[in-house]
Amino acid sequence: MATFIKAQAASLTATIVDFAVTIILKELFGCWYLLSSMLGTISGGVANFLMNRSWVFRAKDKKIHFQVVKYLVVWGGNLLLVSGGVFFLTNYGGISYLVSKIAVSVMVGVFYNYVLQKRFVFK
């Protein structure tokens, strides 16, 4: 249970990075909402990997490149799921890009990211 709680704390931190980048790019720089969301997801993904490796799962394996490759595979799926969900809900559901991103990110984070990072990336 402690690992799950730490993973959620790391996820929350990465989410803050993700949403900060997304909102800054969209609202301050006028970038397209989907590009802003994708760049936010990338930024949050980097923060999440670093925290998960060093703090959550304490992956002491010196072969970090194997973890990076596995993380990129999982994270690539995350990027596709979140971006696709945000695009679908925003364009076809008429929902704000921010509300769409929150809803999709929570679902993907709980049912996809945690499970695959624990069982595949940092096992």
For residue 121, the model assigns a pLDDT of 82
Q: Which residue has the higher pLDDT, 57 or 9?
A: 9
Q: Quick one: CA dihedral 8, 10, 11, 17, positive or negative?
A: positive
Write the pLDDT tens digit of every residue in 27-66: 999 999 999 999 999 999 999 888 988 888 777 666 778 8
* Euclidean distance between CA atoms 45 and 11, whole angstroms: 9
For residue 118, the model assigns a pLDDT of 80
Long-range Cβ pairs for the range 1-6 (8 Å, 24+): 3/56, 3/57, 3/118, 4/114, 6/55, 6/56
For residue 61, the model assigns a pLDDT of 66
Report the Cα–Cα distance between both ends of the chain, in Å, rounded. Answer: 16
Which token pair is 75? Answer: 């994270």
Write the pLDDT tens digit of every residue in 85-106: 999 999 999 999 999 999 999 8
Write the pLDDT tens digit of every residue in 103-117: 999 899 889 988 898
Cβ-contact 48, 14 below 8 angstroms: yes
Write the pLDDT tens digit of every residue in 69-82: 888 999 899 999 99
How many residues make up the chain in this entry? 123
* Euclidean distance between CA atoms 39 and 36, whole angstroms: 5
